[in-house]
A and B are shown apart, each in its own frame.
Chain A
């Protein structure tokens, strides 16, 4: 495993949960999982706190990261993905891909049942995939994961064939996500309108069963009796160790973290950067941080605007903002500057790219001169024929965190130094969407999660404009980039694919389609009684292998 994985297992030595009635664990923080942690033991419950609650509980419909994280142990997938992008068996024991990349044939395990007793078979795969793409399901994310899905054919009771309308190399990645997990066909037939309600209405094949939910407060999960079909990426087989887990939703950062430090819960997720340094000095919890895979928070520059049609005008932004010092200052040295449009924990990340560009104020000023912005107005802004170099930057209150808000303000101040005006406008969500869909902005901020580099297609392909439900906020229409993305989408060989996506990253920086800012971390505060915790390829705690001591 790579160094990231090793680092994680080091920290995981001290991962802990709170168990009913347990006082303090005597287990130390071991350097070696097997050595000091002892033998995993069954029993105990884990309580962990998340800042936000999913708005609905149907993974085939919703989009949220937290939805996938919470339901990952409830919904199994056809295949499991390792952090370096390989695929291992799960509900499918084997699979083949046709030479043209259009047909995937999965051979399914024969001993799998849903928690209502319904057997898991080829038909269950078909009805679920067909449901995901049906318009009335109103799937927000799972449908886009299935991409060019055409149809599923039941070959026999445990063999299913999926056909695509064009080659789509990220298909295995797609079916490894919980968003393409399976509802029991009986649940689909009996209460199709209640699948978003969660609790007892959610019936799937995973090691945990969704027991109950109080919307916005907590969700409770219990171990599934007889579970014996864990993913190939797991370190053990058979029953999950914990008897169950509870997720509590605590918006307030301080309450959430203090609940962990005072021993009331096992894990507090999403520790804000400002609290990281203080928590490192605490002995009551261990801090585990990992880079969030995907595309970091990036200022996309709208290439359809007259000003930004010129690549040199976009380069003014790329070189005129000192992202390293903003990041260092705002996050007290806890986060790093982003060197590429992918974060370092994402497969295909180009680690040589970071040194090829960076803050260069003199270069930004020379570019401004060459663009003709040589005048200065009373407020110190650069002008050309009396017109300011001025950028519209609208944002929505609903999807802007305070971290990003602070970053935006620093970005604005930084550009003012070189005479570029940024007009930040706070909008309500519907107005913001309207302006975004109309392309009525120069700068727009966006971060995009996902462990597969194919998210680059969503961010830069002309087929993924925001008007099409995509993430191409820079309105990029670049034939060279499109050709690279197309080829990557057809390429199944991982090395070739990685190489193509590295060239995409280089092209994005060269053309200055956006300014990547900082690499956010997912930091968890963990009590010293949770063991065996690692992160899966999505960067989520992998609960199937977690066990508890000190009970």
Chain B
């Protein structure tokens, strides 16, 4: 790696720290702006809280201190790596998250890869086929991309778990249990990516260099695989932030349907109960993921697109 690249990565990481601070601060502010008392949120809506219990909660969590003091205290403990204790579940956040992070990562990564694979295969296969095939593929992609995740998940479950018991339906760990949740997320993702990639592929296909490749006598498949597909992948990489976002959003629903452990499900419950330590930790995790992915994507551009390599060298 050259010094320029290192400087670039350093700048990105410094910016990343700022992003994390911003994310933590925004979370804190947002959860405090939500109407309603923090102590009531911790106690939950069941109304069985005696005044003494309420007082104890306020004292234990230091909710009677000024908000600024609470904020600084909270930032301070974050800096020392102390994520705090869940308000709602009465246990350290690390313990709560320990079993949840990995399943979500597994699901997100496998869905992202499967989505990309689906898109590439769809684009390559249809590129070689005629106009009718492409139109049919486009319509199909539009339908799949518009299907809501939870509905797709239920259809897959009904077909491949309940009707034909090929895959386990709920709570399964291991590779087999990952198949249906992955497909639930990957199909709409792949369909969307395929549309973007096909557009770019067709543009590249009309470019002068494609003509010259054809003139050298290369077949259509070789043209796509060796030349134009590269162009088509660039917008998919640019969309990576959107992909991560849609995966994080999608896991919430998918985790519920398939009863998988995961941070998505945890986050929903935590937001509802204003569980600041948990929400903050999940937000920070997501922010770290975004920062890392953006940095990696930045480094990937020149690898995919040689023109950018030339630009940066100048």
Contacts and interface: CB of A to CB of B under 8 A. Distances in A.
Contacts of B50: 144, 468-469
B91 interface: yes
A358 interface: no
Contacts of B53: 135, 138-140, 469
Contact of B91 (A136, A197, A218, A264): A197
B91 A248 contact: no
B45 A258 contact: no
A315 B256 CA distance: 43
A259 B45 contact: no
B51 A468 contact: yes
Nearest to A251: B256
Contact of A138 (B57, B154, B171, B274): B57
A136 B60 contact: yes
B26 to A, nearest CB: 20
Interface residues of B, number: 50
B306 interface: no
A256 B170 CA distance: 8
A399 B44 CA distance: 9
B60 A138 contact: yes
A506 B40 CA distance: 35
B115 interface: no
Contact of B171 (A197, A250, A263, A399): A250
Contacts of B96: 215
A249 B40 CA distance: 26
Nearest to B172: A264
Contacts of A432: 45
A108 interface: no
B45 A217 contact: no
Nearest to B164: A262
Interface residues of A, number: 53
B162 A434 contact: no
B187 to A, nearest CB: 19
Given A138-B60, A468-B51, A398 B259 contact: no
B169 A197 contact: no
Interface in B3-55: 34-37, 40-41, 43-53
Contacts of A470: 48
Contact of B90 (A61, A258, A396, A436): A61
A141 B100 contact: no
Contacts of B51: 467-469
A58 interface: yes
Nearest to B273: A429
A248 B171 contact: yes
A202 to B, nearest CB: 12
* Interface core residue of B46, B169, B260 (most chain A CB under 10 Å): B46
A261 B157 CA distance: 13
A194 interface: yes
B257 interface: yes
A511 interface: no
B47 A433 contact: yes
A110 to B, nearest CB: 34
A214 B104 CA distance: 13
A430 interface: yes
B126 interface: no
Interface string A242-255: 00000011111011
A468 B52 CA distance: 9
B45 A399 contact: yes
Contact of B161 (A56, A197, A262): A262
A49 B56 CA distance: 34
Nearest to B55: A135
14 contacts: A135-B52, A136-B60, A197-B90, A214-B99, A215-B100, A216-B266, A255-B258, A264-B165, A265-B170, A429-B44, A432-B45, A433-B37, A468-B51, A469-B49
Interface of B: 34-37, 40-41, 43-53, 56-57, 60, 88-91, 95-96, 99-100, 154, 157-158, 161-162, 165, 168-171, 256-261, 265-266, 269, 272-274
Given A216-B266, A398-B45, A399-B46, 6 more contacts: A140-B53, A194-B91, A215-B96, A255-B170, A429-B44, A429-B273
